[in-house]
Amino acid sequence: MKTIKVALAGAGAFGNKHLDGIKKIDGVEVISLVGRTLDKTQEIAKQYGIPHVTTNLADSLAIADVDAVILCTPTQMHAQQTIQCLQAGKHVEVEIPMADRLDDAKAIVALQKSTGLIAMAGHTRRYNPSHQWINKKIKAGEFNIQQMDVQTYFFRRTNMNALGQARSWTDHLLWHHAAHTVDLFAYQCGSPIVKANAIQGPIHSALGISMDMSVQLKAANGAICTLSLSFNNDGPLGTWFRYIGDTGTYLAKYDDLYNGKEEQIDVSKVDVSMNGIEIQDREFFAAIREGRQPNSSVENVLACYQVLHDLEQQMHN
């Protein structure tokens, strides 16, 4: 089996999660690491045994041995860098969101089709064992979603990442955090979103973004979703998904799953790992080896970005 050689861009909190996951995947080697500052990137590269370090993605793309790139860079860079990778002839997995504008998302899909390369977006909720368990139950005809109630809550009144370190960019409730739920809702229902509403709270004076948001969705099959998002929530932090269905109620938090009585459900046999990021990366590399489109290919998730665009237009009018 030929080793897939990878460049990873974005040596921050989420980049480290990918590096940890890739260590458990046979036949894959990270050979180049791209970071914002050279010293910190060199420290991380040494920790993971990565031979090449740079602060410029173009340097990694110029390495002939690099087969694929994983982008864990700031949201605002995703579209341009994804296009850059595809133009360089590299397969690419871009973390969610693949773009923060609909036109850019469409441009990525068009370029992927013309190159035939694998281009995948990191819509991790499709891969979490908890949500996979629900998906299998739906496909088996044992459960149908009536309503999803989702809370995405963080405390981000300053520009900090998941490790509590200062960010060089501003996160976004709609294009990043709402994207997870918008895509997951349609994916789990197996039905497109036909109605979407959103309202946002006050704009933060320093960050320039809304810190609170409420989203309503309806799928063509009649299922509904209510999503509450906040960067003002002072704990507990994270995202909780409540699935209310015809045969039960389930609560999902990342890779873990509970029933309506908050009794934990064993999802350890759903996939080869309990780590959604690792499973996501496995799908990317498997798609490369098998020459097929991955589950969350850029084309497969494009409908999500149309909904996000429509919601943004609503809130700005």
Q: What is the CATH number of domain 4-124+276-296?
A: 3.40.50.720
Q: Mean pLDDT, to the nearest integer, of 227-253?
A: 95
What is the pLDDT confidence band of residue 167, given thresholds at 50, 70 and 90?
A: low
- pLDDT above 90 (res 252): yes
What is the pLDDT confidence band of residue 315, given thresholds at 50, 70 and 90?
A: very high
**pLDDT for 317:** 75
3-state secondary structure of 38: helix
What is the pLDDT confidence band of residue 67, given thresholds at 50, 70 and 90?
A: very high
Partner residues linked to 251 by β-bridges: 242, 258
In this structure, the strands spanning 28-34 and 4-9 are parallel
- Quick: pLDDT tens for 5-55: 999 999 988 999 999 999 999 999 999 999 999 999 999 999 999 999 999
**pLDDT for 169:** 55
Q: From residue 101, how far is each of 39, 75, 261 by CA, in Å?
A: 33, 11, 40
Evaluate whether 4-124+276-296 and 128-270 have a shared fold.
no
- Quick: pLDDT tens for 69-78: 999 999 999 9
**pLDDT for 2:** 95
- Quick: pLDDT tens for 258-289: 999 999 999 999 999 999 999 999 999 999 99
Q: Mean pLDDT, to the nearest integer, of 76-94?
A: 98
Partner residues linked to 9 by β-bridges: 34, 71
- pLDDT above 80 (res 165): no
* Start-end of H helices in the chain: 13-22, 38-48, 57-61, 78-87, 102-115, 129-139, 179-189, 276-290, 302-316
pTM assigned to the model: 0.94
Residues 138-149 as b/e (b if ≥16 CB within 10 A, e otherwise) read: beeeebebeebb
- Quick: pLDDT tens for 120-164: 999 999 999 999 999 999 999 999 999 999 999 998 776 665 556
**pLDDT for 159:** 62
Domain with residues 128-270, CATH architecture: 2-Layer Sandwich (3.30)
What residue spans define the domains of the chain?
Answer: 4-124+276-296, 128-270
Q: Which amino acid is at 21?
A: G
Torsion of CA 136, 142, 145, 149, to 10 degrees: -70
Q: Mean pLDDT, to the nearest integer, of 283-300?
A: 98
**pLDDT for 168:** 58
- Quick: pLDDT tens for 194-221: 999 999 999 888 878 889 999 999 999 9
Window from 90-104, 148-162, 229-243 with minimum mean pLDDT: 148-162
3-state secondary structure of 119: strand
**pLDDT for 49:** 98
